[in-house]
Amino acid sequence: MNRSRTPIQAFLRQLKTQQTEMVELLGRFVKCESPSHDKAAVDAFGRIVAEEWKKRGAKIQIIRQPKRGNQIRAEICLGQGRPRGQIMILGHLDTVYPAGTLAKMPFRMAHGRAYGPGTFDMKAGLVLALFAVDAIRAAGHYPQKRFVFYWNSDEEIGSLTSRAAIEREARRSDAVLVLEPPIGSQGRLKTARKGVGAVEIIVTGRAAHAGINPEQGVNAVHELALQIARLMKMNDPRRGITVQATVVAGGTVSNVVPAQARAEVDIRYTRVSDAPRLDRALQGLRPILKGAQIEVRGGINRPPLERTAAVGTLFEKAQSLMREIGVNLREASTGGGSDGNFTAALGVPTLDGLGAVGDGAHSPGEHVVIRSLPERAALLAGLLGTL
Ligand SMILES: [Zn+2]
């Protein structure tokens, strides 16, 4: 008896013949700009994506949003009969690039790479998902699972309008596969991500002449400097905690004691259990100088994605699939957060970084490596076919 090809080999063979179509679709996606803050633009892009899923027979649900882009939920069951469980595939429609970026940074191909705003983070991921489903169909492989593709619209600005819906869907799922970019030229998956917080500290003092009556003023910049010194003490790199003042502003002219100052602060942490303590410390900031007032806005936002045993098992599955096509897949941890942080915190096994190989997210050199597209789509198809 001949040993038949394993599904992932069949998927890859099929997908390699579609590399050009994958790049064409990526081009169409990139040419429809979708900045997080531009509802009309994100909605227009969402319609193109939804149309592609409709062509594949998916059941589409548009989750309408008044201010942000609408989110898209595409459900597909390839097998006959009642599905045994659900897999959620997660990604986002929005990019960090303001409208008009394409004029300076057009979609283009060079040296085996496809460049353009949002190629890597993460319109290529959206392309992979569509072709993974095609490959499963073409191979005549019909898993008895419900696949829910959830495309969020405000990931790049904290997922404030989409978090609850993502969590609801994740709770119904056996696993979550996240199509965010991988790490490095080998496309390592992300099995650990730091948790993220963001606060704004607003200081109000009292203005006075810096030469004539400084004692009648309350220096908001001095107060802010003292607060930042206090925040710096919260850093604990060995525990994976970093606190960085990233933006500061204050004062008006050089001979006036400033009445206003503000800072933005970025917080990252590794362990779920550190979140309450960090949040308490941030919310508990009190003025140091007499007469100064401070207001703290924001707090801890995304919990960390911890590499639990279930996350490890999911990664090993991906690794053994890639071994079948001769690729040594590896894993890595990152300080950046994604929607995978939310789903992992619910205890749902989450595997992140399944997007196309590339580099330069959020920068003028953003690109994906074209020949990675069939391989990464095959990996996704392999996971969907075997989980
Ligand atoms: Zn992203």
pLDDT in tens, 38-94: 999 999 999 999 999 999 999 999 999 999 999 999 999 998 889 999 999 999 999
- Is the CB of residue 303 less than 8 Å from the CB of residue 275? yes
pLDDT of residue 301: 87
- In the predicted model, is pLDDT for residue 3 greater than 60? no
Residue 209 Cα to ligand 1 middle (Å): 48
Q: For tokens 């990019």, what's the residue? A: 95
- State the distance from the centre of ligand 1 to the C-alpha of 78, rounded, in angstroms: 27
Interatomic CA distance for residues 206 and 154, integer angstroms: 38
Q: How far is the CA of 339 from the centre of ligand 1 (A)?
A: 9
Cβ atoms of 89 and 179 within 8 Å: the answer is yes
Radius of gyration of the chain (CA): 24
**What is the arithmetic mean of pLDDT over 81-110?**
96
Answer for the pair 348, 309: CB distance below 8 angstroms, yes or no. Answer: no
**Distance between Cα 286 and ligand 1 center (Å):** 35
Ligand 1 centre and the CA of 211: distance in Å? 51
CA of 60 to the centre of ligand 1 (A): 22
Residue 268 corresponds to which tokens in the numbers above? 């990252």
**Residue 233 CA, ligand 1 centroid: distance in Å:** 31
pLDDT at 239: 94
Please report the pLDDT score of residue 142 as a whole number: 87
How remote is the CA of residue 337 from the centroid of ligand 1, in Å? 9
Q: Could you read off the pLDDT of 123-171 as tens digits, one per residue? A: 999 999 999 999 999 998 889 999 999 999 999 998 999 999 999 999 9
Cα 196 to Cα 173: distance, rounded to the nearest angstrom: 24
Q: What percentage of the chain exceeds 70 in pLDDT?
A: 99
The pLDDT value given to residue 5: 58
Q: Residue 360 C-alpha to ligand 1 middle, in angstroms?
A: 12
Which pLDDT does position 336 carry in this prediction? Answer: 87
Which residues are CB-neighbours of 209 under 8 A, at least 6 positions away? 217, 255, 256, 257
| Number of Cβ atoms within 10 Å of the Cβ of 86 | 17
Computed from CA positions of residues 129, 134, 136, 139, in that sequence, does the dihedral angle turn out positive or negative? negative
- Rounded to two decimals, the pTM is 0.89
Run of H or E including 21: helix 19-31
Q: Please give the distance, rounded to the nearest whole angstrom, from the Cα atom of residue 187 to the centre of ligand 1.
A: 15
> How many whole angstroms from 238 Cα to the centroid of ligand 1?
27
pLDDT at 270: 93
Q: What is the pLDDT of residues 234-286, one digit of tens each?
A: 999 999 999 999 999 999 999 999 999 999 999 999 998 999 999 999 999 99
Q: How many CA atoms lie within 13 A of 238 on its CB side?
A: 0
Going from the Cα of 81 to the center of ligand 1, the distance in angstroms, rounded, reads 35
Task: Tell me, in angstroms, the distance from the centre of ligand 1 to residue 37's CA.
Answer: 15
| Average predicted confidence (pLDDT) for the chain | 95
Assess whether pLDDT exceeds 60 at residue 4.
Answer: no
How do residues 189-200 score in pLDDT, each as one tens digit?
Answer: 999 999 999 999
